[in-house]
Structure 1
Amino acid sequence: MDVIITFNKQIIKNKFKHPYTKIEFVEKDLKVSRITAANYLNKLSDDGILTKKKLGVTNYYINHELFDILSK
């Protein structure tokens, strides 16, 4: 069963704050549990909005559209 997520202004602001994010950033910024933050980011990744990359033990979620804009 897919996780049902209600997106609010905070998750949108977080998505455009940096060209990448990670669970800890969302957890702190949105004041949600680690599991909730991971669910948000994994859903965005599953939907193709962010790209999930594992580096060591940490998952990074890359916002390629924002990265492209900032790199121009």
Structure 2
Amino acid sequence: MAIKLNKAFNDLPFLPPKQSLVETIAILKQESKSAVALAELKGLTNTLPNPNILINAVILKEAQASSGIENVITTQDKLYQALYTKSAKPDVATKEVLRYRQALLMGTLLIKEKGFLNTNGIISIQNEL
């Protein structure tokens, strides 16, 4: 079956994909390299005076990128100004991205506390948004 990228509603294969399509040698090799890189990053993060700076930067970038999909556009400069400058009045898009960031942090905290994410946790995250 050929998938036509410029045509909607192709006859796509059912999910989940066959294991033989997912667990290829190339993917498994990359998985191993990624695990090593993440372990190195975790080790280096602990050498930072404040590891939360790195974590916050990643979460903020994710919030910005995910919001951009919904056509909520802001810049990293506006986000950091809104976070770290008390006199800055953020625009609507920046406020929305910051709420998304807060919801991500809330979800992470809920998972750390309970070890899982339940329906009540998802509702709490949605309320934050």
TM over 0.5: no
TM-score by length of 1: 0.29
TM-score by length of 2: 0.20
Richer in helix (by share): 2
Instruction: Select the structure of larger CA radius of gyration.
Output: 2
